Amino acid sequence: MKLIETQRLTKKFGTFTVVQDLDIKVCTGELTAYLGSNGAGKSTTIAMLIENLKPTSGKIIYHDNLKIGVVFQNSILDHELTVKQNLQIRAELEGQAVQKHVKEIMRKTGIDQFANRKYGELSGGMKRKVDIARALLNQPDVLFLDEPTTGLDVTARKEIWQLINELKEKQKLAVFLTTHYLEETENADNVYILNHGRIVEHGSAAELKQKYSQINLRVKFKNKIAQSLFSKLVLKHDFYEYQCSDAQEAIQFLNQYKDQIDYFEYLPVEMTDVFMKLIKEEA
């Protein structure tokens, strides 16, 4: 079910166009990844979608009685208050019905274990869990996550994504994500790639990887490689990587140098490959 849909959404500041003609759909239970380089217009788009910024032109269509939650890049919680106090204050602002959900949300997000600690004393991963809990207080249909794992270590990022995936699956929550960690988008239902304020590609992560697939080989040679090969290979630790446009080129390469090759493997296409290819093409 469509929860949010934009039609030719455009935002200008004076004569400068930040984003132009954006057609975006956010649907129930789906992860929508919104990708772009710094300055591409991601934060401006979110600001319009959550009604913090008025579009210059175009439409945003919301499902009836839609509720949204937002996790900003920078926290809006009080560092001197405990986790529980922060959530209780936010719940009071939302109304009496929301106050009843504070304990349940703390339990679901796993923050009940440190509910009485000051927010400012928590680790980065703990703080981000609390930020997500705060965004869930009004039981939203759509959760906006603006670079939610920036600055977190690998373990904390993994825990945050376990939580996000549980919410998405169990509560059919729609998630709208911006991130610079493109591996977080590998299973996205919808991916929009933004460049210079325009959407240059759209599809599921699987569809985009298939469309822009290329054969990447990781190769280890028996001895020193021929000088003619240097321009084709990229050295990665003890291996070389070779990019092929298709399977036929990969087979030709392996046949041509089979006597020199000690070991090889195929590397799967990742969203990072798709993103870099599109950004270079549009540069």
Banded pLDDT at 282 (limits 50, 70, 90)? low
Domain that holds residue 180: 2-208
Does some domain include residue 277?
A: no
Q: Would you say residue 193 has pLDDT above 80?
A: yes
One domain, residues 28 and 157 = yes
> What is the Cα–Cα distance from 160 to 54, expressed in whole angstroms?
31
Is 52 inside any structural domain?
yes
Q: Are residues 72 and 134 in the same domain?
A: yes
Give yes or no for residue 213 having a pLDDT over 90: no
Phi, psi (rounded to 5 degrees) for 123: -70, 170
Listed residues 208, 234, 259: the one ending a domain: 208
Q: How far apart are the first and last CA of the chain?
A: 35
pTM, two decimals, is 0.83
Using CA atoms, how far apart are residues 224 and 230, in angstroms rounded to an integer? 11
CATH at residue 32: 3.40.50.300
Do 127 and 256 belong to one domain? no
Residues 48-90 have pLDDT tens digits of 999 999 999 999 999 999 999 999 988 999 999 999 999 999 9
Is 97 inside any structural domain? yes
DSSP string across 91-153: HHHH-HHHHTTHHHHHHHHT-GGGTTSBGGGS-HHHHHHHHHHHHTTT--SEEEEESTTTT--
Residue 96 in domain: yes
Percent of the chain exceeding pLDDT 70 equals: 95
217 lies in the same domain as 204? no
- Average pLDDT for 215-243: 77
DSSP state of 269: -
Is pLDDT at 127 greater than 90 in this prediction?
Answer: yes
Has residue 24 been placed in a domain? yes
Residues 16 and 102 grouped into a single domain: yes
Mean pLDDT of 107-126: 95
Task: Please give the pLDDT value at position 234.
Answer: 79
Condensed to tens digits (0 to 9), the pLDDT of residues 24-52 reads: 999 999 999 999 998 899 999 999 999 99
Q: What pLDDT is stored for residue 14 in this prediction?
A: 96
pLDDT at position 67: 96
| Whole-angstrom distance, CA of residue 86 vs CA of residue 107 | 15
Residue located via tokens 């959404």:
9
In a domain, 256, yes or no: yes
Which DSSP symbol is given to 248?
Answer: H
Residue 67 lies in a domain: yes
Per the structure, the count of domains in the chain is: 2
- Work out the pLDDT band at 96, boundaries 50, 70, 90: low
Give the pLDDT band (50/70/90) at residue 236. Answer: confident
Look at residue 280 and tell me if it is in a domain: no
Q: Verify that 124 and 104 share a domain, yes or no.
A: yes
C-beta separation of 197 from 44 below 8 A: no
Average pLDDT of the chain? Answer: 90
**What is the SS3 assignment for 165?**
helix
140-175 pLDDT, tens digit per residue, is: 999 999 999 998 999 999 999 999 999 898 889 999
**What CATH number is given to the structural domain containing 224?**
3.30.70
Mean pLDDT: which of 34-48, 82-96, 219-233, 242-256 is highest?
34-48
Rg value, the chain, Cα: 23
Do residues 109 and 20 share a domain?
A: yes
Q: Does residue 7 carry a pLDDT above 80?
A: yes
**Are the CB atoms for 16 and 197 separated by under 8 Å?**
no
Q: Are residues 221 and 120 in the same domain?
A: no
pLDDT at 226: 63
The predicted structure's pLDDT at residue 95: 74
Range 226-240 average pLDDT: 73
Residue 63 pLDDT: 97
CA gap 262, 55 in Å, rounded: 58
pLDDT band (50, 70, 90) for residue 283: low
pLDDT given at position 239: 82
Q: In terms of domains, do 160 and 221 share one? A: no
User: What is the percent of the chain where pLDDT is above 90?
Assistant: 63
Q: Are residues 28 and 95 in the same domain?
A: yes
Structure-block tokens of residue 48? 């319009």
Same domain, 183 and 116: yes
